[in-house]
């Protein structure tokens, strides 16, 4: 009979890279595309966009494959040699997903950056994982099409990374996240097999929905070598509204009304609390009368023509005014739009002036719980003596609450305190029916907090899936949960 302690945790046993193993890797991909024994060149691959250095880890080697068969050969070699492989996109992740925490080889997908097939009639595009997502939209906009899963922030991220993290972003209210648009994948499994999933089909129920298992798997279940995306008609007009409210409650109360009473699904509904608004407006020298604002909503509507968009933004604006907005500003051209989005996009930068040490969180709660979450954050902020600005996607409840180190503290005090702040934050999130990551992923930054929000059984299921597909724990081990050998 099994008892609690009978599953012995064994250390993952991997082989370190040696000159001999590096030579074998060079044989597969060519010397030009392998970096080994060069700290300076390997360093950029030791971290992603997570600011805290404790989440970084040096790779032992880097390989840049140029084809699917090469990826397969590398993975098969890694299984034979017991060397972990961590796939990497542009490195713009926010959970440490591409950090090789067990060393081994980082597989950078930058060379696989081509369009495989652009099918205007079926409105699909098949690309390699190293394609910059922004470039996809640049390529197709002339045809009146766009890829709607594009996250809002970075113009550098790769589509492969987006799929691995199931990236979301500002437009999720109306267009959903990456997963909605991935209809086909070619993957290399953790044991090196090449498998094609789905294709250009809108409907497909042949077997388990493995595509959706792969999307958001954070590089732990397969390496994507081809990605087929569904495209949408490009909206021809869009308008942004910046709405100032006295309190977060008033601001959030409007959000469901826009969709129910107004009958409109905006493209984006961004929320910024008082701390974010005031710090950022000060930082930007912004002249809008933010001093009275306890919260702001940034609402975007888009549509096939200017008349429809005008009708929608007026309806939303009126709703906001009726529900206590101090003022509603309208941006229907590029310059004005850029100015109001600047407030939202500069929040992180503005707080970096106060302290570069911050923990960008990614909690998600049911929309109606946002005001309570904001209140709880104020309590937490007082309790720990740190500022916790809260901003994010009000339309889907995804909030980037960001504890910022008190500039009077030592780094040690911050590092000692942060885990406690996060435990409190995640416990509150869980109590409000939420979870710890909406779009950035678990990676290894949040894995130890997983038990706070998910059941043991669920974690067990994830582990079983991983073990079934990756018996040697070769692919991105130690992410989402601790991997057992």
Partner 1 sequence: MRIVVPIKQVPETSAVKMDEATGTMIRDGVEAIINPLDLYAIEIAIQLREIHGGEVVAISMGPPKASIALREAIAMGCDSAILISDKAFAGSDTWATSNVLAAAIRRITIENGPIDLIVCGERATDGDTGQVGPGIASFLDLPVASYVCKINEITNGLCCVHRMVEDGYEVLQIQLPTVMTVVKEVASPRLPTLRGKQKAKKVDLTIWDVKNLALEGSKLGINGSPTRVVKIFRPSVARNCKKFIALDDNAIQAAADRVVGYLQEKKLI
Binding region for partner 1 (CB under 8 A): 241-242, 285-288, 314, 317-318, 321, 327-336, 339-340
Cβ at position 312, least distance to partner 1 in Å: 13
Taking the C-alpha atoms of residue 242 and residue 295, their distance in angstroms, rounded to an integer, is 11
DSSP state of 331: E
Q: Which residues pair with 31 in a beta bridge?
A: none
Q: Which is nearer to partner 1, 253 or 330 (CB)?
A: 330
Taking the C-alpha atoms of residue 176 and residue 172, their distance in angstroms, rounded to an integer, is 4
Q: Which is nearer to partner 1, 332 or 372 (CB)?
A: 332
Rounded CA Rg of the chain: 23
Q: Which of 265, 260, 48, 243 is nearest to 148 (CA)?
A: 265
Q: Which residues, in sequence order, are CB contacts of 351 under 8 Å at separation 6+? A: 279, 358, 387, 389, 402, 404
Q: Which is nearer to partner 1, 289 or 451 (CB)?
A: 289
Q: Which is nearer to partner 1, 249 or 327 (CB)?
A: 327
Cβ at position 318, least distance to partner 1 in Å: 8
Cβ at position 341, least distance to partner 1 in Å: 12
Please, what is the angle between helix 347-354 and helix 274-284, to 10°?
Answer: 80
Taking the C-alpha atoms of residue 383 and residue 392, their distance in angstroms, rounded to an integer, is 23
Q: Which is nearer to partner 1, 109 or 320 (CB)?
A: 320
Residue with tokens 């974690």: 459
Cβ at position 330, least distance to partner 1 in Å: 5
Cβ at position 393, least distance to partner 1 in Å: 22
Q: Which residues pair with 295 in a beta bridge?
A: 245, 273
Q: Which is nearer to partner 1, 25 or 254 (CB)?
A: 254
Q: Which is nearer to partner 1, 242 or 399 (CB)?
A: 242
CB neighbours (10 Å) of residue 322?
11
Residue with tokens 């503005």: 350
């Amino acid at each position: 009979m099994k008892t609690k302690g009978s599953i012995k945790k064994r250390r993952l046993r991997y082989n370190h890279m040696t000159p001999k193993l590096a030579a074998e890797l060079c044989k597969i991909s060519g010397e030009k595309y392998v970096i080994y024994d060069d700290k300076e060149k390997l360093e950029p691959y030791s971290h992603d966009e997570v600011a805290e250095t404790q989440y970084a880890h040096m790779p032992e080697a880097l390989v840049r494959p140029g084809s699917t068969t090469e990826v397969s050969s590398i993975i098969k070699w890694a299984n034979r040699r017991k060397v972990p492989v961590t796939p990497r996109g542009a490195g713009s992740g926010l959970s440490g997903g591409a950090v090789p925490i067990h060393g081994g080889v980082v597989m950078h997908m930058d060379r696989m950056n081509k369009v495989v097939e652009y099918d205007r009639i079926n409105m699909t595009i098949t690309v390699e994982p190293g394609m910059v997502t922004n470039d996809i939209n640049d390529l197709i906009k002339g045809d009146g099409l766009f890829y709607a899963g594009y996250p809002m922030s970075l113009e550098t991220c790769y589509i492969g990374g987006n799929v691995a993290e199931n990236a979301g972003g500002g437009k999720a209210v109306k267009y959903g996240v990456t997963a909605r648009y991935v209809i086909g994948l070619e993957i290399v499994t953790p044991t090196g097999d090449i498998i094609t999933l789905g294709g250009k089909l809108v409907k497909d129920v042949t077997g388990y929905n493995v595509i959706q298992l792969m999307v958001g798997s954070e590089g732990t279940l397969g390496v994507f070598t081809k990605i087929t995306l569904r495209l949408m008609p490009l909206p021809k007009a869009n308008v942004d509204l910046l709405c100032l409210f006295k309190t977060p409650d008033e601001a959030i109360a409007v959000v469901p009304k826009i969709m129910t009473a107004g009958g409109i699904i905006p493209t984006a509904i961004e929320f910024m609390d008082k701390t974010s608004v005031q710090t950022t407006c000060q930082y930007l020298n912004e002249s809008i009368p933010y001093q009275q604002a306890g919260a702001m909503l940034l609402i975007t509507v888009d549509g096939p023509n200017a008349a429809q968009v005008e009708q929608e933004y007026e309806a939303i604006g009126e709703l906001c005014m009726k529900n206590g907005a101090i003022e509603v500003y309208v941006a229907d051209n590029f310059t004005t739009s850029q100015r109001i989005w600047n407030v939202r996009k500069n929040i992180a930068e503005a707080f970096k002036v106060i302290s570069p040490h911050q923990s960008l969180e990614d909690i998600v709660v049911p929309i109606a719980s946002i005001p309570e979450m904001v209140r709880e954050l104020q309590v937490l902020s007082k309790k720990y003596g740190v500022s916790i600005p809260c901003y994010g996607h009000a339309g889907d409840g995804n909030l980037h609450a960001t504890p910022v180190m008190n500039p009077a503290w030592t780094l040690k005090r911050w590092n000692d305190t942060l885990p406690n702040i996060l435990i409190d934050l995640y416990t509150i999130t869980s109590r409000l029916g939420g979870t710890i990551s909406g779009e950035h992923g678990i990676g290894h930054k949040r894995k130890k907090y997983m038990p706070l929000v998910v059941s043991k059984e669920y974690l067990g299921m994830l582990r079983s899936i991983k073990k079934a597909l990756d018996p040697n724990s070769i692919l991105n081990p130690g992410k989402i949960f601790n991997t057992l050998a």
